[in-house]
A and B are shown apart, each in its own frame.
Chain A
Amino acid sequence: AQSVTQPDIHITVSEGASLELRCNYSYGATPYLFWYVQSPGQGLQLLLKYFSGDTLVQGIKGFEAEFKRSQSSFNLRKPSVHWSDAAEYFCASGGYNKLIFGAGTRLAVHP
């Protein structure tokens, strides 16, 4: 069965530092992959998506993600984190008419 794993439940970084959030998927064929962000008390916002083509995907808010088939990974990166990036981040894999979500990574940003 398709699954998505986010190994890190909580991550804390300093403002201005770089960020990498990990995501691993299990799927036999080429997956459809997504990253969402959720601020407290809000809905989820789509940051970026990968369907095919270039394995480095650019998203909103300065985020990017790289699809690595050999590692079954789709890690999210940002070169310099802002305090407003503190939120929960969800990786998801596309199933037919459904998405399979990871458990989420909560990001805290220290000033």
Chain B
Amino acid sequence: AQTVTQSQPEMSVQEAETVTLSCTYDTSESDYYLFWYKQPPSRQMILVIRQEAYKQQNATENRFSVNFQKAAKSFSLKISDSQLGDAAMYFCACSSLRDDKIIFGKGTRLHILP
């Protein structure tokens, strides 16, 4: 079984600043994926960034990067140069490589202050 914990229900950041969203997870799988999904007010969930657990190198996608600490089971998301369009709910998630069942955390609502 997998669990995902996001301890920050809400966060705010000034436009153009950097913010880090925290996530911890637990899994009995040896091979798994970790994800950050974004859900804007229009509701559709979209993938922000993905990390394969067997890769030590942290994933990056433009202004988005992760800090993956496998031993600590920690997977934080850093957003650089925050933009107004980054305002959304952010969900940390985990799935095993055996199937496509993704387990989500409760989310962090990110506010961008102009």
Is the A/B pair a real complex? Answer: no
